Structure 1
């Protein structure tokens, strides 16, 4: 009993049983409908033929009298066996006048309608089931016309055996179909479950298997793989960020501790203490700045602030940011150029301004004097691209994918001015807007691009 209960708790078994039950019920319903319809059709046809023949013989009696009726029946008797036809004509006292039945049935009243009974035939002296109708003629004679039901009963038995055989075959096919269906479904689910267990165990490099059929399972597997790619990327970024935070904040916090401890040195002058306090304040500002940027990246990666999306005119936004940075660029001998246009899109205006500012600051950091930085706007399918290109030395190709990672900088040493979080924030803002951050070398210079979805 426990094994049976355990087997029924199995999803595959339940699906096979459900398939078998539903297929059996459907097949049985169809076959029963066929049987009933065929049986009724045969009975209806038999009754129609007998009723027509009975009416014809009654008309013969009206036209030609009793002798004419007897003659008409006698003409039909030679072929009666082939047609399974039965006739019996008696006088008013029940004495047989003509027919292939021995006697009038004792429990049947002439004119009582359609009856099913057993009578003995006179031609072979066999008791046979018949279906017949009768009528009492005007002279008191009784006329019975029917059909031998043996053939119909044999047909019923054959039909029932055929129905039972078809039902058995349908049952076997339903079990086979259910087994094949569950094997197909659960083999795919088993592959997904096995891969998921490996992922849960810590192997984030595993991906859901795809068979290239393009079916729903492949679509689900593709969606899960995209999700796993994103999760792996976020975890990798988290590990990098955690390590980088520990590395980047250890030094300023250590220096801050030294500054604070030095304040208690009785041999220090007031001027030295003021210098230490100023330096400690600078270290605190640097830590707060790094933490603030990390908070902004986390909020953008989580999609917080989408409720503040509004229609943004990129030409106006670019113009405002360029106007802000033109004096600084002019001091460095750098010219800012704007090209392209696009339709307004939905976005977070302050964050987009911050992203463009970070790209401009990064470009101005490496752009040579007396060169131009180009800010380009372009539409590409469902995305709008916002690009910033300088004419500097560019970036080694192997470093391009790492530019959007937190705490990644090409400076030989990180300073308070550059903690390597600017482009990471730009990438996070791009993802928040349904796009991506792309960087490529242009020979000369580096072009950094924010791709923004027009309908994030």
Structure 2
């Protein structure tokens, strides 16, 4: 009997006489004899003997190995073939996915490299196409953006160069009348003028020196695109004296009283004196500009645990709501009619200098009186 077949011998009384079936197969065979029911993969062959016994052989129509050992190890070769086929399909899918992933990665590298170069403003390169048409469409769009950005940056650079040239020329042109002013001031000083005139001459000379320093600073910014910072330990008393002297001279143009009040206990401060003085004078200039004739400007210096604060308070019209939000922006001016006088750079510069000293610029209106208060906060130890 082949190993993939089994049998049972049933006598005339229906009793099992002999069998090599398992208990499970025997029960299925009995069910077949009694009702004729069988599974779709089991088949039966009945053989009647001379003595009346019936031999029932159970078999299937599946492929089997003829070798008993192979049959025992692999009872269903067709299932093995299906498993092998499935394995080959999976292997093919993995290899295909791996190749596609590698191809996709190479294409993505091209896009990533392109965007990184554009992000670094390196626009002088050729975009490498990929093997994926959809990615090439994206790269074509990026190429158009690159060309547009390159054109825009070149235009911006040309404008910056023109601005530098114009500022350099302007600074040079200012030096000529400034030299004339300083020379005439020296002649007036030597001519034996009255005490009052000598004081005015001193203001002219001091302001001329300040303009000269500002021109040097302007040229430094134009050439280096940045503000040179030179922090030193300086005398607070001397610093306030210099600021007060220039402020008094500025206030005299509108007969404004300038009041200085210092409550700080520090004798020295670590700052860039020239830049901080310029920032404060910009604020004082604004205060004089918007104050009435014969009014008053207060300059108070206070301190808290972390900061030294310079307050400039005037009695002008104060800030509007829009000015409180935008006054520190470059070129902001609330009065659009000021076409050639004030361009809103003063407060913007003061804000930048305060931040250089790890501080801030604060704008507010006086609560109990008319006018505005501008405060420059600088860190006490900003080294």
TM-score tier after normalising by the smaller chain length: 0.3 to 0.5
Normalising to structure 1: TM-score of the pair?
0.37
Question: Which has a greater percent of helix?
Answer: 1
Relative contact order: is structure 1 or structure 2 higher (C-alpha 8 Å, sep ≥ 6)? 1
Normalising to structure 2: TM-score of the pair?
0.42
